[in-house]
Chains A and B, each alone.
Chain A
Amino acid sequence: MKRFLPWIGLLVRLGLAGVFIVAGALKVTDLPASGRAVVAYELMPTNVAMTVGAIQPFFELMLGALLLIGLATRVTALISALTMVAFIAGITSAWARGLNIDCGCFSKGGHLPPGVTPNYLPEILRDIGFLAMAIFLMLYPVSRFSLDGWINKPEGDVRTDDEQA
């Protein structure tokens, strides 16, 4: 099992990287729309939400890029997990307050037209899946083909089994 963990780690790391890069790329082309998606949650003052929405795609792209190259995997995994917790909390609160919005997870979100019902439960379950992936990486940050692995390449005979931060 231990032999396979770095390979599983690679899959999880690349998967999570893909999630963030796709999510960021879909929103980065229209920042005001991304801002309106955050406004629609009615959790922040409008101008704050617009700014948060504009920053978020860049944040997601950077996080995705770091996961892709595998730099500081444990830290980026922790940030990913916190991000997912925030998303899950946001969607849950929108659901609890009966808001009729698109979560804006992989789109520009906003209010849904009348007659369209939101899909909060699948969105939450999906984010819980991503959260699980992030937690896995926090626990087992060693993965194949990572920059971390390259940086911490064992030198000479001082190899120990607790390498990697």
Chain B
Amino acid sequence: MMSKREDRRAAARVVREQLAREKRRKRAIWTSVTAVLVIVIGGFIGWGVYANQKAGKVNVPTGANKDGNAVVTGSGPVVVEDYIDFICPYCKVFHDDAKDELTRLVSENKITLVTHPVAYLDRFSTNRYSTRSSAASGCAADGGRFTEYVDALFTNQPAEGSAGPDDAQLISLGLQAGLTEEFSQCVKDKRYVTWAKKVSDDAGAAGVTGTPTVFVNGKKVQANAAAIVAAVNEAGGAAPTPTS
């Protein structure tokens, strides 16, 4: 038989335990709320940082397209758009393969070539080569030698993971390609570094997730000479090239 005193003590114990349980429940709710808030706040920070990173004032090079995010070569009826990054190995493969055909189509006034030199791959060089080479290509466009400079950049493409040519080397490549002192100044001034970012952001917004990417009259085609020529012929209504 329990004494009255023991009874009371047991009752008090139950009450104490209940209070403690209630306290723990409240703490659990508050820690959970805190944790969720931390995550939500983190998300908002991300959003803020991302919104802030969007390019502000941007210089646009001579010969750019209407949107100011690519350099236009030629004035033919069929629009060929290519997105390239100067450090991307497959872009070099594509460039070497398609260069002659693209030059021919431009000179025969069949296509307008719209080149977006995106800087997606800054992480593949130790000195932001993608951004700096893209910016330098804008300077070359000002000097009227964009195509020649693109050729020079791909000929001297650095290996992924290494340090790409520095600004001085980018300048000397330009001078070799026939550009002038004005080009050197433009590279030194970093005039088109924000433009490189705009080109990349616009490309991302257009759904271009990798390089090289090619569109012929807005339709995505494989990044090689044969596919582009076929698509251009189809779009231009030209008779297909006879096979044998």
Interface residue ranges, A against B (CB under 8 Å)? 29-33, 35-37, 39-40, 46-47, 50-51, 54-59, 61-63, 65-66, 71-72, 74-76, 79, 101, 108-114, 147-148, 151-152, 155, 158, 160, 162-165
For A36, list chain B residues within 8 Å (CB): 120, 204, 208-210
Which residues of the partner chain B approach A47 to less than 8 Å between Cβ atoms? 205
Assuming the contacts A76-B35, A165-B28, asked whether A110 and B210 have C-beta atoms less than 8 A apart, the reply is yes
Q: Are B49 and A54 in contact (CB under 8 A)?
A: yes
Q: List 18 A-B contacts (CB under 8 A).
A: A30-B123, A36-B209, A46-B206, A50-B204, A55-B43, A57-B46, A62-B38, A62-B39, A65-B38, A75-B35, A75-B36, A79-B39, A111-B213, A112-B210, A114-B90, A155-B20, A165-B29, A165-B32
- Given the known interface contacts A40-B210, A66-B39, the answer about A55 and B204 at a Cβ–Cβ threshold of 8 Å is no
Is there contact, CB below 8 Å, between A151 and B123? no
The smallest beta-carbon distance between B113 and chain A, in angstroms, is 21
8 A-B pairs closest in CB distance: A165-B28, A58-B46, A111-B210, A62-B42, A54-B50, A72-B35, A40-B209, A55-B46
Within 8 Å CB of A71, what residues of B? 31, 34-35
SS class of chain B's interface: helix, strand, loop or mixed?
helix
Q: Is the C-beta of B122 less than 8 angstroms from some C-beta in chain A?
A: yes
* Docked-complex contact B31 and A31, CB < 8 angstroms: no
Quick one: which of B24, B50, B210, B213 contacts A31, CB cutoff 8 A? B50
A58 to B44, alpha carbons, bound, how many Å? 9
Once the chains are docked, how many angstroms separate the CA of A30 from the CA of B223? 26
Taking beta carbons and an 8 Å cutoff, which residues of B are in contact with A? 16-17, 20-21, 24-25, 27-29, 31-32, 34-36, 38-39, 41-43, 45-47, 49-50, 53, 88-90, 120, 122-123, 200-201, 204-210, 213, 222-223
Q: Would B123 and A72 count as touching, CB distance under 8 A?
A: no
Query: A31 contacts B35, CB within 8 Å?
Result: no
Task: Report the Cα distance A79→B88, complex, angstroms.
Answer: 37
A160-B209 in contact (CB<8A):
no
Distance of A164 from chain B, by nearest CB (Å): 8
* Nearest B residue (CB) for A62: B42
Complex Cα distance, B222 from A62, in Å, reads: 40
CA distance A158 to B201 in the complex (A): 59
| Smallest CB separation, B213 vs chain A (Å) | 8
| Interface core residue of B89, B208, B213, B223 (most chain A CB under 10 Å) | B208
Knowing A75-B36, A151-B31, A165-B27, say if A46 contacts B205 (CB, 8 Å). yes
